[in-house]
Structure 1
Amino acid sequence: MTRSPAAPLPPPGERRRLREAGALTRAQLAARVGVRPETVRSWESGRSTPRGRNREAYAKLLAGLARPAEAPAGAGTGAGTAGSRESEREPDRQQKEGTAVVTVCLDDPGGGHGPAAVPPEPSAFAQAPPPARVAEEEDRTGLTPAQAFDALYSFCAPALVRQTYLLSGRRDLARESVERAFHQAWDRWPEVARDPDPAGWVRAAAHDWALSPWHRYRRRYRQPEPPPPDDDARTLMEALLRLPPPYRRTLLLYDGIGLGLPETAAETEASTRAAAGRLTHARETVAARLPDLSDPRELHHRLAELASTGRLRAAEPPEVRGGSERRARFWTRAAIALTVALIGTTALTLRTAPTGYEPPVPPGETVQGVPPRVAPGPLSDEQRELRDRLREELPRGPQRLTPQAW
């Protein structure tokens, strides 16, 4: 009985490249093959080789990921249905890679490329297209502010929730931070639309709210968040949360999102030298816990995988806009009610206030040296006789003597 040859596998580096080209995380690929994410990491690093059924399933999956990349770019009609299938897959693949989604939404408002065409789960560190002012796109394409806001939110919010999760370590706080940032963006939409980098404006607002120290006093955030199920992911999350917030944010912006050092320093409100020092210290701290992450490229991929394990979902754009408008109406009505209350209180005070000055009654004082008051005792017989005589003679007595000059 002859044994069937093992399925051929590409080199370890090519395995990783094919997975990334297919917009798959290690956890997603491991779920399809039926192994653990640590096993896929070992296969991609070359420390181990799959065998048996796992090898066949892994090789088949990699072959499926490599087939679109090997198809000729200029396939004509002779390619048959294969060329048409590749042309149909190309927009989906570009959307998964996060290429110019906002531009597509702004260029074609009514052709089926609106916010619904944005993929529900882009990469955790997907970046917006080259910063073009949204206001100029609105004028060029005739979009309404709501449509432009929905396009920006649909592209940035899913990835931004995952980024904020790495900063705070809490899923609910990550969603709350992103929604609050977009609330502020909708309240100041003319300013955000004309900003050279609207996605950076929203990202900075979300990161500031997620790293606010006041959240520790809120009752819902006093209990710790359940850690990730994977051991490596849990260790990486613990290492990130041990870093001071400015160091954690610098590491995320530089090694996670891929911003340059000057842009990272500007967003964290620090000098370039201080940002470089924070980045070096953060890398050393993470590498001390996980030596495999001493390579910045490996750290970037592990951060992306950790962010993707949270299964975080962002709210829909109309819901965010509606929440911002309801919040604005609430504070407007509260301000009006407070103003009316102040006016009424002032009017009542003017109505009831005294018109003249009335000095207050001074408090009583104790006088020393005054003999105590003694009640009169009972009259004697002589005193009573004298009293009776005075009472009788006084009305009809002699006239009062008139004074005379000497």
Structure 2
Amino acid sequence: MTRSPATPLPPPKARRRLRENAALTQAQLAARVGVTHETVRAWESGRTTPRGRKREAYAKLLTTLAEEAASRQAEPVPVVVAVGAGPGALSDEATDSLVLPAKPLDGRESGASEEPGASEESGASEESGASGAGAGAESGADSGTGAVSDAGAEPGAGPLTGPEPGLAPAGMTPAQAFDALYEFSAPALVRQAYLLTGRRELARESVERAFQSAWERWPEVARDRDPVGWVRATAYEYALSPWQRFRLRHRHPEPPPADPGDRTLLNTLLRLPPPRRRTLVLYDGVGLGLPETAAETEASTPTAANRLLRAREALADRLPELADPQVLHRRLAEVASAERLRAARPPTVRRGSERRARYLTRAAIAFTVALIGTTALTLRTAPTHYEPPVSPGETVRGVPPRVAPGALSDEQLELRQKLRDQLQHGPERLTPRLD
């Protein structure tokens, strides 16, 4: 007996687009399907997939919304995303991922409570499943990872998130799409990395290294639901790597911020453990929801909530005026925007990624050649037949063992002298002659 195939559903981004075109909220759509508001949010973010009768009801409702939208507009609403785009263009999913509108300061949809009822090592799951390392952050309006489009933003140019850019054309080349993503998100990512490390040069280097890795894996990153989140996670991992402390250039402190308040806030932030500092920057600085923050930090939602509360408590003990999350968000944006943090141009980053790839390729080839040469030399000089080892000597019965010669006795000395004298006065040797 075979199982009947599941009812096909459009991608998560198309589901949300259909709901928004119909002017329905998540609560209204949840009431029509017969589920909770959090379940619809998980379906539209891609963290879970409906099953059974709920899947059929949800698919039927989306089909109805698509038909209503088609009747109102001249063009039908795109329900299925084209994945098989050629190398010269991005898919609709990747192109839409470039458009990441900024989330307002007081508009968060965390989708989970902040009760610290679990320790940092607790592993709990919501209705959508455990939001661990394999879960991706929501893209689109729920990501909140925008940035100003000017790579060389001046101090005070904007907060950690920036204005919403225009939709990227569908016929972009990979290089153009990468440049658009870089110019859109690099300035904000540099400011976020500065809050994590307190070092301007390390923040710029971590973002450039993350984009270099993205260019090396561009087909994968371009089709990711949240390419900015992919780059942000890579930049954070590089910036908070414990190996950075062993670099000579990072052993000397950099000049602190000029403003005393900014300097106090940055020093307090840097005293936090890296996991709590990263969670605080993502939630209160960038504006991600709690499930998305947990997914990006590879932790469960209760663990992320516990880290966030502990980090807020540490900041409030040192700076009581930052107990309000809205004030904390504004102050983090001010500290990051007050510094002159510049990012390299996109072509420079792409060329650096290509040079790094060539260097690693040549190093791998050189190592392989050296390994082959060492193996060939070993095979050439190794013995070709078995040579048994020499067995140790054994004592034979009746034969005295050899001993080292010792001092001569008087009789032996006399005999030796007698033999030497006879050799001198003995008969002469006969030499044959030719007559």
TM-score bracket, normalised by the shorter chain, equals: 0.5 to 0.7
Q: Return the match for 1:259 from 284, 288, 304.
A: 288
Is the 1:125–1:163 Cα contact (8 Å) retained in structure 2?
yes
Change (3 A) 1:254 1:378: same
The one-character-per-residue Cα deviations of 1:352-403 (angstroms, maximum 9, x if unpaired) are 222112244578999x98665354322399999999xxx9xxxxxxxxxxxx
2:336 equivalent to 1:336: no
Q: What is the Cα deviation at residue 285 of structure 1?
A: 1.0
Q: TM-score, normalised by structure 1?
A: 0.60
Match of 2:405 in 1: 373
Match of 1:207 in 2: 236
Change (3 A) 1:318 1:370: same
After TM superposition, the structure 1 stretch with the greater mean CA deviation from structure 2, 334-343 or 143-152, is 334-343
Q: Return the match for 1:126 from 150, 161, 167.
A: 161
Change (3 A) 1:221 1:365: farther
Which structure dedicates a bigger proportion of its chain to helix?
Answer: 1
Letter in 2 for 1:180: R
Structure 1: gaps of 5 or more residues: 1-99, 105-115, 392-406
Alignment of 1:41-80 (within 5 A): none
Alpha-carbon RMSD:
3.5
Match of 1:45 in 2: none
Q: What is the Cα deviation at residue 173 of structure 1?
A: 0.7
Is the 1:187–1:324 Cα contact (8 Å) retained in structure 2?
yes
Q: Percent same amino acid among aligned pairs? A: 64
Letter in 2 for 1:281: R
Q: Return the match for 1:158 from 178, 181, 187.
A: 187
Is the 2:149–2:185 Cα contact (8 Å) retained in structure 1?
no
Is the 1:186–1:324 Cα contact (8 Å) retained in structure 2?
yes
Alignment of 1:36-185 (within 5 A): 102-103=98-99, 118=150, 120-121=152-153, 123-126=158-161, 141-185=170-214
Aligned length: 272
Structure 2: gaps of 5 or more residues: 1-95, 101-147, 428-435
- Once residues 171 and 120 of structure 1 are traced to their aligned partners in structure 2, the CA distance between those partners, rounded to angstroms, is 14
- Once residues 181 and 364 of structure 1 are traced to their aligned partners in structure 2, the CA distance between those partners, rounded to angstroms, is 70
Is the 1:162–1:174 Cα contact (8 Å) retained in structure 2?
yes
Greater relative CO (CA pairs within 8 A, separation 6+)? 2
Letter in 1 for 2:242: P
Change (3 A) 1:288 1:216: same
Change (3 A) 1:128 1:386: same
Q: Which has the larger radius of gyration?
A: 1
- Once residues 196 and 419 of structure 2 are traced to their aligned partners in structure 1, the CA distance between those partners, rounded to angstroms, is 105
- Once residues 346 and 380 of structure 1 are traced to their aligned partners in structure 2, the CA distance between those partners, rounded to angstroms, is 61
Change (3 A) 1:297 1:361: same
- Once residues 126 and 358 of structure 1 are traced to their aligned partners in structure 2, the CA distance between those partners, rounded to angstroms, is 76
- Once residues 255 and 355 of structure 2 are traced to their aligned partners in structure 1, the CA distance between those partners, rounded to angstroms, is 32
Letter in 1 for 2:158: S
Is the 2:151–2:342 Cα contact (8 Å) retained in structure 1?
no
- Once residues 191 and 266 of structure 1 are traced to their aligned partners in structure 2, the CA distance between those partners, rounded to angstroms, is 19
The one-character-per-residue Cα deviations of 1:256-299 (angstroms, maximum 9, x if unpaired) are 11100000111111111111111111111111111111111111
Is the 1:128–1:199 Cα contact (8 Å) retained in structure 2?
no
